[in-house]
Amino acid sequence: MNTIGLVAFALVGATKAIREEFDMFGVTVVGLATAFAGGMARDILVNRVPLALNSPIEIGLGLFGVGLAIGVSAALKSADTHLVTLLSDAIGLAAFTTTGAIVATQADIPAFGVVAIATINAAGGGAVADILLDRSPFILLDDFYASCAVLGGSTYWIVATAGGSNGTAAAVCAAVVVGTRIAALIYGWSIPTAQVLGLTRE
């Protein structure tokens, strides 16, 4: 799970940085930050030592994703909004939501915390990448992205609490995230703003 997520998110982050004309060092840093920031935030929140820096294999996977991003950017126009990148992103989102939910459940964190940590693990990398690219994290604007992680994390918790095995919970969680994310892309789902809901005066 984690392996897929690392490669997919490094690919997505590096592709965005290439589009913004960051230099190759910056591209590598944004790619690695996208891949690792969510997991590090999770580790700090559940009080584990962030292990990524101790793991040459994980770093290698991140660098592999950055390499893929360079290849994809060379091969495709508008690589950062291409189907390949969007699918990688959906898969990475699912992989990290599941990893986050598993780690939080093992750390004996209650329901809300499991969902929050799964969401932070999944969406944190993208949010950090956006801050490095000097824009508001897109997940907070009108989109249906982190919400997929919220749904997936909730599903994991429900299945695990209902007595499902970890494997079952993980599989259902990943399926929910990928499914809702792809549906959101196809049908253009978004969460309304207070303005759209008529909840503001101006």
Residues of this chain that bind a second copy (CB under 8 A):
17-18, 20-27, 29-30, 44-45, 47, 49-50, 53-54, 56, 59, 70, 73-79, 109-113, 116-117, 131-137, 139-143, 146-147, 150, 190-195, 197, 199-202
Query: Which CB, 186 or 199, lies closer to a second copy?
Result: 199
Tokens of 124: 């944190």
* CA pseudo-torsion sign 186, 68, 123, 16: negative
Q: How many CA atoms lie within 13 A of 97 on its CB side?
A: 34
Query: Which CB, 75 or 165, lies closer to a second copy?
Result: 75
The whole-angstrom separation of Cα 35 and Cα 48 is 18
Q: How far is the CB of 158 from a second copy (least distance, A)?
A: 16
Query: Which CB, 113 or 168, lies closer to a second copy?
Result: 113
Query: Of 157, 121, 84, nearest to 5 (Cα)?
Result: 121
Q: How far is the CB of 47 from a second copy (least distance, A)?
A: 5
Task: Please name the residue that has the structure tokens 């944004």.
Answer: 30
Q: How far is the CB of 172 from a second copy (least distance, A)?
A: 22
Q: How many CA atoms lie within 13 A of 31 on its CB side?
A: 32
The amino acid at 190: S
The torsion angles phi and psi of 3, rounded to 5 degrees, stand at -55, -50
Q: How far is the CB of 45 from a second copy (least distance, A)?
A: 6
Q: How far is the CB of 188 from a second copy (least distance, A)?
A: 13
Query: Which CB, 47 or 167, lies closer to a second copy?
Result: 47
Query: Which CB, 111 or 183, lies closer to a second copy?
Result: 111
